[in-house]
Amino acid sequence: MKKLLTAVLVLSMLLGLCFVPSVSAATLKEITLFETDFENDTVGEAPAALAPYGNAIADNATVYAEADGNKYADTLGKGARKRFRMLFNEAVSSGTVVAEFDLNTTGGAVALGMVYKSKPTEYLKWPFYVTNGIKDYAVKGFTATGGNPPGTEVTGKTVTFTKDGSSDNLTFKVNQWQHYKVIFDFDNQTVTAYIDNEKSNTIGGYEYFGKTNDAIAGLAFYCSEPDAETYKPSNKFDNIKVYTGYGNYLIDKDYEDGNVGTGNASNVKVIDSPEALNINSKILSFEQTGAKARYPLSRALKNETFYIEFDVRAGHGGLGVALLSKTDPTTSYSKYIFSSGTLASNPKLGLKAYTEYGSGMSTHPSGNAGSQTYIKGYRASGATTDMKLTAGETAWNHVKIEVDLANARIRVTLDGVVSDYIEGFTYLKDVDVAHICFHCSNKLSTTEEAQKNYIDNLKVYTIADKVYNVGIKDFTPSAYTAGTKIEVNYDFTVTDLSSKDVELIVASYNGGELCEVNIEKIENVNTSGTKKASLTLTKDCDEIRAFAWENGTLVPLAEHVSKTNNK
């Protein structure tokens, strides 16, 4: 009875009727390297998200819409071979990268490959592909570099994916949408795949990725269609997402809701991106000199490492990023860990940081007192090139700022290029960081478009440890009457080598009110697979919800799943 009352209290107070997280809690989610669903693209044109990353992308894919309005990219009628890339915000050489996408193919081959940072247009690495050219609908891959599938197999290095725990081939279907998930483990040089949640055995021996190879700058799709002139099969893609690791997000803002969403702002607003900027989304615009936007974090940070990421189109004026502690005045921004400088600075739009502040110290972007410049690479390697943003009215840069509070040091990754650490930030030692702030100090007339600064896709997060990817599968039966046993399958993918305790929760509701609940505690989960939880109803209800939590932390490991009675 105590267990039931505790569960009811927790579910009622914390998960509520629709699971709205507390504003003080971080959101656990993937750290995304690339993502597009084509919904912001124009039907009949090339996919905008892929346009910067492919060779003659207009010849490779076109955006279409289904009857329900959902948009997707299709290679229909685009020739015998097509390739397009998905470049990351930051190159990857270790850890795990996961690619998820929906695919509906009618014929030929569709491959998922890799491109190196040093050779981003070379396509010879295809660790995973599907082909029905020989009518067995098998899933294969090349563990060494070679030709293009399926016509040119790499002798002794072409592998076939089999089902987890079986020697049967993992297969795919044609003429219908299926969800694919491909997991690349760079440290162990292995690949594991899922098709509609059916898992493959892990394939090892991949020679061309891992710490001894060049970093991977992105993934690529390759489509080969036989006899394209008379037989014009299509390869439909949707909901492409590539991510690595997991983060506890304290801020995650893409401005698509039209809200500035800050604790304090002046002379900033959300606008529809001007056509000249070549993106289809809403962005935050800094309109005048002195424009500011302050974002409170969902919790204060102390003696830990966190990351600030955003896309920026830099104007002629300087754009600064400052940190405020709990006790700092919220209207005075002076602790600038990042400054883009101005067109009058040397280098133009150069990146620097102010390690000190106060009397005698210049502040962003007026001078150099107390500032240091971010340098490409590491000084130990002899690199001396100053980092700078790209000038131009249509030029976007992706900025990632790593803030190491414990060591009072910061480094920047600019479009995948990592700087040396800048050390000695006097105001980062033993403080509680509670806000991040953007400040625009334009030096030109506010009537000139070129001087404006824009940002998009703002994220602040810490790296989560001991994380599991938990997918809640569908559950049965569908009629929720007293005496019915409800069973839920939970699909676990372990993303590190640590074990942890989790709680699998099944709850029944009637008219939106919680009726009863069962919590299954699973101790020391350290392997991938499926776990079950069940609830035998003692009364009729109209809805079942399933949750997965990390034991004792109230942190959700998956979005909850709800199913209503359809009797």
Q: Which residue has the higher pLDDT, 124 or 284?
A: 284
Residue 22 reports pLDDT greater than 70 = no
Residue 178 reports pLDDT greater than 90 = yes
**Confidence label for 359 from pLDDT (cuts 50, 70 and 90):** low
Q: Domains along the chain?
A: 2-25+468-564 (2.60.40.1930), 37-244 (2.60.120.560), 254-463 (2.60.120.560)
Give the per-residue pLDDT at 381.
Answer: 44
pLDDT tens, 81-98? 677 788 887 788 888 899
- Residue 4 has φ and ψ, to the nearest 5°, of -65, -45
Q: Which residue has the higher pLDDT, 483 or 470?
A: 483
Give the per-residue pLDDT at 183.
Answer: 92
**Confidence label for 47 from pLDDT (cuts 50, 70 and 90):** confident
Output DSSP code: residue 157.
T
Q: What is the mean pLDDT of residues 514-527?
A: 80
pLDDT tens, 280-309? 789 999 887 788 999 999 889 999 999 999
Closest CA to 558 of 28, 155, 179: 28
**Spatial contact of 73 and 180, defined as CB atoms under 8 Å apart:** no
DSSP of 159-203: EE-BBTTSSSBPB--SSS-EEEEEEEETTTTEEEEEETTEEBPPB
**Spatial contact of 140 and 133, defined as CB atoms under 8 Å apart:** no
Q: What amino acid occupies position 210?
A: G
Alpha carbons 267 and 288: distance in angstroms, whole number: 6
Give the per-residue pLDDT at 494.
Answer: 62
Give the per-residue pLDDT at 490.
Answer: 82
**Spatial contact of 425 and 355, defined as CB atoms under 8 Å apart:** yes
In three-state form (DSSP H/G/I as H, E/B as E, the rest C), the secondary structure along 534-556 is EEECCCCCCEEEEEEEECCCCEE
pLDDT tens, 308-339? 999 998 876 678 999 999 889 888 888 999 99
Alpha carbons 390 and 273: distance in angstroms, whole number: 18
**Spatial contact of 188 and 204, defined as CB atoms under 8 Å apart:** yes
**Spatial contact of 413 and 328, defined as CB atoms under 8 Å apart:** no
**Spatial contact of 113 and 127, defined as CB atoms under 8 Å apart:** yes
Give the whole-number percent of the chain exceeding pLDDT 90. Answer: 30
pLDDT tens, 370-381? 788 888 764 344
In three-state form (DSSP H/G/I as H, E/B as E, the rest C), the secondary structure along 100-147 is EEEEEECCCEEEEEEEECCCCCCCCCCCEEEECCCCCCEEEEECCCCC
Q: What is the mean pLDDT of residues 271-284?
A: 83
Give the per-residue pLDDT at 473.
Answer: 72
